[in-house]
Amino acid sequence: MAPNPILRRKREAIVREHMDSENRHEFDATLDTFGHPRYELIATGEVHDGPEEVMAYFDATRRAFPDQRNELLALHHAGDAVCVEAVVRGTHDGPLGGLPPTGRAFELPILALFIFDGDKLVCERVYFDSRTVLRQLGVARDPFSLTGRIGTIVGHPLMIGRGLIRRVTGR
């Protein structure tokens, strides 16, 4: 059940300020939008819980992508969440974990669930396809390109062989 109109407006204002402050790189303001700061990145399995971990996440991602920004495409209200469809963009100009900067840009569609406890934001849970980013940064291959297909054949010969046998035998 969707929350009442007053709660909806308050939650929406929190989400918009959260996203805007990320774009301004004012991460103290972003932290202030939370009742309890927590990020869950579903594609990578990362969880950043608490102010120190979340600030470390901001530092690491903005070191890797100093121009990172988001664009809100759509916002939807649910019982205990605000669902956001957005596009995140940036340029890989700094190290990301063990990956040196590639200088390449990325554009990533995401779905972010902003989870609330009443009027307090308690988690941002982000769904995205990590392979999309890695392909755009030049560190993963498009599986349908020639080099991607060769890589699949070399890396997975048993799977490819079984698929060919099934195709030939009709099983």
Q: Do residue 145 and residue 81 come from a single domain?
A: no
Q: Do residue 42 and residue 67 come from a single domain?
A: yes
CB 84 within 8 A of CB 112: yes
Mean pLDDT of 137-144: 71
Q: Do residue 37 and residue 61 come from a single domain?
A: yes
Task: Select the more confidently predicted residue: 89 or 146.
Answer: 89
Query: Average pLDDT over the chain, rounded to whole?
Result: 89
Task: Look up the domain containing 161 and give its range.
Answer: 141-171
Q: Do residue 36 and residue 66 come from a single domain?
A: yes
Q: Do residue 127 and residue 147 come from a single domain?
A: no
Residue 152 has pLDDT above 70, yes or no: no
Q: Do residue 134 and residue 154 come from a single domain?
A: no
Mean pLDDT of 75-97: 95
The two three-digit tokens of residue 100, written as one number: 């040196």
Convert the pLDDT of each residue in 39-84 to its tens digit. 999 999 999 999 999 999 999 999 999 999 999 999 999 999 999 9
Q: Do residue 68 and residue 100 come from a single domain?
A: yes
Domain total in the chain: 2
Q: Do residue 136 and residue 147 come from a single domain?
A: no
Is pTM beyond 0.85 here?
Answer: no
Model confidence at 165, pLDDT cuts 50, 70, 90, reads: confident
The two three-digit tokens of residue 58, written as one number: 């901001």
Q: Do residue 90 and residue 150 come from a single domain?
A: no
Mean pLDDT of 120-147: 84
Instruction: Please report the DSSP string for the chain in residue order.
Output: -PPPHHHHHHHHHHHHHHHHHHHHT-HHHHHHTBSS-EEEETTTTEEEESHHHHHHHHHHHHHH-TT-EEEEEEEEE-SSEEEEEEEEEEE--S-BTTBPP---EEEEEEEEEEEEETTEEEEEEEE--HHHHHHHHTSS--TTSHHHHHHHHHH-HHHHHHHHHHHHHT-
Q: Do residue 77 and residue 123 come from a single domain?
A: yes
Mean pLDDT of 94-122: 95
Distance separating alpha carbons of residues 114 and 39, to the nearest angstrom: 9
Comparing CA positions, the residue from 73, 48, 50 lying closest to residue 61 is 48
Q: Do residue 135 and residue 153 come from a single domain?
A: no
Residue 150 has pLDDT above 70, yes or no: no
- Pick from 90-99, 111-120, 122-131: least confident: 90-99
CATH code of 22's domain: 3.10.450.50
Q: Do residue 86 and residue 167 come from a single domain?
A: no
Residue 147 has pLDDT above 70, yes or no: no
pLDDT at 139: 83
Please tell me the number of Cα atoms within 13 Å of 11 on its side-chain side: 29
Residue 157 has pLDDT above 70, yes or no: no
